């Protein structure tokens, strides 16, 4: 009888699927877009969803300028939820009543990311354009339209 032998080889993982990348994205969102380095879970997911394509970021930039978000729907990424749990376990963030807050250890990581000009260039630029202009009340208003 014939046998089949398998050789285990390293398999590359897309950057978008790496937990550390998602954790870094979430920390940047909390730092750049959160008031007092805090965001609701819905806002973190919204900004993370927007960061997936330049067109979505343009939509959010326009929403920030107009003071109103007009999206029919956006996605919640289960991998982001796992990344947030890992960030919490590593002491980078802590839960609040409706979201998360950046802790000093997480702020140090954000500082390193922001100071490195070769890391997450597009993400930092896009989030910096929006800044804190997308408020929690705007996010709450748009999420109520789902009900």
Is it the case that residue 86 has pLDDT exceeding 80?
yes
Q: Is residue 78 part of a domain?
A: yes
Global pTM value: 0.88
pLDDT tens string 90-126: 999 999 999 999 999 999 999 999 999 999 999 999 9
Q: Is residue 10 part of a domain?
A: no
Q: Is residue 62 part of a domain?
A: yes
Structural domain containing residue 105: 17-144
Q: Is residue 46 part of a domain?
A: yes
pLDDT tens string 29-52: 999 999 999 999 999 999 999 999
Q: Is 147 exposed, middle or buried (0-12, 13-18, 19+ CB in 10 A)?
A: exposed
Q: Is residue 132 part of a domain?
A: yes
Q: For the chain, how many structural domains are there in total?
A: 1
């Amino acid at each position: 009888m014939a046998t089949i032998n398998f050789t285990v080889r390293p398999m590359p993982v897309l950057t978008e699927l790496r937990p550390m990348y998602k954790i870094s994205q979430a920390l940047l969102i909390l730092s750049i877009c959160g008031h007092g380095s805090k965001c609701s879970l819905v806002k973190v997911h919204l900004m993370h969803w927007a960061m997936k394509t330049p067109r979505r970021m343009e939509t959010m930039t326009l929403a920030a300028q107009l003071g109103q978000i007009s999206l029919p729907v956006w996605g919640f990424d289960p991998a982001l939820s796992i990344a947030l749990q890992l960030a919490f376990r590593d002491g980078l963030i802590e839960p609040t009543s409706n979201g998360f807050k950046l802790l000093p250890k997480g702020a140090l990581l954000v500082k390193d990311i922001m100071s490195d000009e070769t890391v997450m260039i597009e993400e930092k630029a896009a989030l910096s354009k929006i800044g804190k202009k997308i408020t929690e009340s705007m996010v709450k208003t748009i999420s109520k339209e789902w009900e």
